[in-house]
Structure 1
């Protein structure tokens, strides 16, 4: 983690990404939408690491891709260094992508198996006119490999000749090749062994210190996110439900969903593990094609109340220095509301999805997102 600059580099306002659900043999008809990202607002300061966590299918990766316009936003704005990226087109959008890069989750499928490492690294540099001088380009390639801890001989090799950790380092080098200001890292260590995870996380931190990078780190491993992040946003079913400084979030979670996530982290002390609060959520993540009314989490929430929860969608508001989207955050924090058993609810796809044809086969939330 780095010392933060007060200047806002990235500001996302009411961002929505809705994927149409189509059905038809001759003519496709839109019979509904998948609400992958539904009204996300956040701001990230220059030099900061913003962690984004949540269970599989909550829309984290879609949000990261929408920030870079790899997924087209349905509405909302993505203001990067004073420019609304959501409105850019053509050459202006291509130039802006030099300053925003992505590290993809799967280090093997994100690298072209037919290209050597040298070709992979040169591709982005050529696209942005950064390889005009051969001697300078060769020097730059060696610097990139040194920065990510790979030997110069790696330039002549192909992705299949490397281990998973080495391939992820190549992905990081590719992102760094065009000298970006912002890097969106989508599950950068989830596919790696634990020992290699630590190496890659430490590498990302060292590069941030050296180059002044700003990160959006998407992950479901809460321990990794706490280690690397300055601030953390917790995402559930397409929206941010809580946002706070990393230490404050772990020491004093306010949203019921955040409390449930943190209670799932194992503690290496058997005595503490047996006696600490453990919250087991009932049911599965509802379908993003038919999200519940009111609070999206109320169908699984142990602190659900009869009023507001099922009817009014809460907005992010400041509670003790943290932003939380819960009608009863203060009451839960102060113990005025106690948890109760939750019966799983079945959310059916009806209404707008054409009941005459029945619900479409759109797969699970994880498959959709």
Structure 2
């Protein structure tokens, strides 16, 4: 992503410039490639890690977009890139009508105020030396929102009320809270700047199962109250299904399937999505014993040396050598916004193509 000829310090578009419910965030062919260095003296680039490699998606105002995939698929890197915490290598990211790569200085700072992140581990993301009051005021002060002491105090109380924490929490420190309470503090810190978009990176994976539902329900309540838009990153399909309107499935740096949450769970169309869902336990023993089980063999390929053609073909039970090994499939719409990157999605769905019980290409080396 270049900035030499397009940088500008113009003011970003306001929320009123975009229709309510319209597009808020757009990614077009976004890539994030990390160089692999070798040599002590010359520090040569000998390759790249293709963490994100050509992702395009849209997120509408007020919706929750779930991003799911195995560890190492690039979903966290993508989440950080869309906030420009990591600079993309290529492509275009548009937020509320503004090209993020074209923003700098004050205009970038104002836009970043409207895009906040909730991190996976609330303890490591909170400075243990700061009280909750200091943690919440920090961002407000950086953006000039703490000019009046009384209104700032009122804002802090409102934030604690919103996330379900007592007002006495202001004088305490992160280690004095449980994991769920610390995540509520992290959410309150994100809300302090009144953002439009929150990227939540594995927001409940570090929490006990009994607490996860409480935090997810809180996120939904806050979305309704403040009109928030979410991008929720998770590896747990149950978490994504609970909270998302639409879901994108990533594999090895690329988006392989995208659909409304109900449609994706009812009828997954990419072999990788089918495998992920087949591994999720079903509470009904009768259904669990009779449903299709898809076991993936082999390891996830290295993002520094991705396979040619379809990146999933080395583990795909439906692999066809004539096409899958050589041509990378496009992410195409099969109807109703259900996008799939698979050459044989229609044949698999119609049962015209059966999975192989054993595929040499999938066998571990």
Q: TM-score range by the shorter chain?
A: over 0.9
Q: Is 1:66 matched up with 2:81?
A: yes
Distance 1:73 1:45, change over 3 A: same
Q: Which residue in 2 is equivalent to 1:327?
A: 343
Give the conservation status (yes or no) of the 8 Å contact 2:316–2:362. no
The equivalent position to 1:106 in structure 2, one of 110, 113, 121, is: 121
Mapped to 1, the partners of 2:214 and 2:232 lie a distance apart of 16
Mapped to 2, the partners of 1:311 and 1:325 lie a distance apart of 14
Q: Is 1:139 matched up with 2:154?
A: yes
Mapped to 2, the partners of 1:22 and 1:294 lie a distance apart of 26
Deviation at 1:90, TM superposition (A): 2.7
Count of equivalent residues: 345
Deviation at 1:86, TM superposition (A): 2.4
The equivalent position to 2:192 in structure 1, one of 168, 172, 177, is: 177
Give the conservation status (yes or no) of the 8 Å contact 2:94–2:100. yes
The equivalent position to 1:264 in structure 2, one of 271, 275, 279, is: 279
Give the conservation status (yes or no) of the 8 Å contact 1:16–1:73. yes
Give the conservation status (yes or no) of the 8 Å contact 1:50–1:215. yes
Deviation at 1:345, TM superposition (A): 5.3
Give the conservation status (yes or no) of the 8 Å contact 1:5–1:45. no
Mapped to 2, the partners of 1:222 and 1:346 lie a distance apart of 26
Q: Which residue in 2 is equivalent to 1:278?
A: 293
| Partner SS for 1:155 | helix
Q: Is 1:310 matched up with 2:342?
A: no
1:353-364 alignment runs, 5 A limit: none
For structure 1, the 5+ residue unaligned runs are: 349-369
The equivalent position to 1:249 in structure 2, one of 239, 246, 264, is: 264
| Partner SS for 1:284 | coil
Q: Which residue in 2 is equivalent to 1:292?
A: 307
1:116-155 alignment runs, 5 A limit: 116-155=131-170
Mapped to 1, the partners of 2:279 and 2:172 lie a distance apart of 41
Mapped to 2, the partners of 1:5 and 1:133 lie a distance apart of 31
Deviations 1:44-87 (A, max 9, x none): 00000000000111000000000000111000111000001123
Q: What TM-score comes out, normalization by structure 2 length?
A: 0.92
Give the conservation status (yes or no) of the 8 Å contact 2:62–2:230. yes
For structure 2, the 5+ residue unaligned runs are: 1-18
| Partner SS for 2:186 | helix
Mapped to 2, the partners of 1:298 and 1:25 lie a distance apart of 37
Mapped to 2, the partners of 1:89 and 1:32 lie a distance apart of 30
Alignment RMSD (CA, Å): 1.4
Mapped to 2, the partners of 1:102 and 1:286 lie a distance apart of 29
